[in-house]
Structure 1
Amino acid sequence: MEWMSWTVPTAAFFIVIGLILLGMTTWELRSPSVLRKGLLPIATTRGDRLFIGLLGSAYLHLLVIGATDWSIWVASALSLVWLLAVMRWG
């Protein structure tokens, strides 16, 4: 049986996502969020915006990598900007 080889960037990605989820859970337990409507056409909580932001970041990242010859770092930067924008103004 072969085991999956984890690269440092892959492990770092999943560790960061885990830390974000842990931080959001702690934040939610200390200060429950309320529904609010921002740029997104629906009322969302912090958790909703995190989910939408992460999902949108993944699709944006794949789109940039698949449709352009830009660096993976550009795709990552655009995805991070999208995530932060959704979390702040979504």
Structure 2
Amino acid sequence: MPDLSWMAWTWPTAIFFITIACLIAMMGVWEFLSPGGGPRIGVLRFETTRGDRLFISLLGSAFICLGWLVASDLALWWALGVCLLYAVLVFCFV
């Protein structure tokens, strides 16, 4: 086993990475059960699939959290709520 004591593995960090892994796994199962992903053209005016929308959601959520850390003194849990709302909007309109 490699020595990972230099890493700051806290429960919130572990939950963060486990959540991303679960989202990617669930997207893989969804794609296996219903191939194709129903590509569509949304407000960005180019074709996106479910996987594209998940990627856009994750990338945008990272920037939302970074911006939250820079611009706000409120707890990061509020940013999580903004990220969830953002992800819902991406899946509905992109």
TM-score calculated relative to the size of structure 1: 0.88
The partner residue of 1:89 within 68, 85, 93 is 93
Unpaired runs of 5+ in structure 1? none
Query: How is 1:23-42 mapped onto 2 (pairs within 5 angstroms)?
Result: 23-32=26-35, 33-42=37-46
Moved over 6 A (4+): none
Unpaired runs of 5+ in structure 2? none
Are 1:43 and 2:50 counterparts? no
Q: How many residues of Structure 1 are paired with residues of Structure 2 in the alignment?
A: 90
The partner residue of 1:9 within 6, 9, 12 is 12
Q: Which has the higher contact order (CA 8 A, sep 6+)?
A: 1
Q: How big is the shift at 1:30?
A: 1.1
- Once residues 40 and 6 of structure 1 are traced to their aligned partners in structure 2, the CA distance between those partners, rounded to angstroms, is 37
TM-score calculated relative to the size of structure 2: 0.85
Q: Percent identity?
A: 43
- Once residues 12 and 2 of structure 1 are traced to their aligned partners in structure 2, the CA distance between those partners, rounded to angstroms, is 17
Query: What is the Cα-based RMSD across aligned positions, in Å?
Result: 1.5
The partner residue of 1:72 within 76, 79, 92 is 76
Q: How big is the shift at 1:70?
A: 2.5
- Once residues 71 and 14 of structure 1 are traced to their aligned partners in structure 2, the CA distance between those partners, rounded to angstroms, is 19
- Once residues 40 and 61 of structure 1 are traced to their aligned partners in structure 2, the CA distance between those partners, rounded to angstroms, is 22
- Once residues 59 and 23 of structure 2 are traced to their aligned partners in structure 1, the CA distance between those partners, rounded to angstroms, is 14
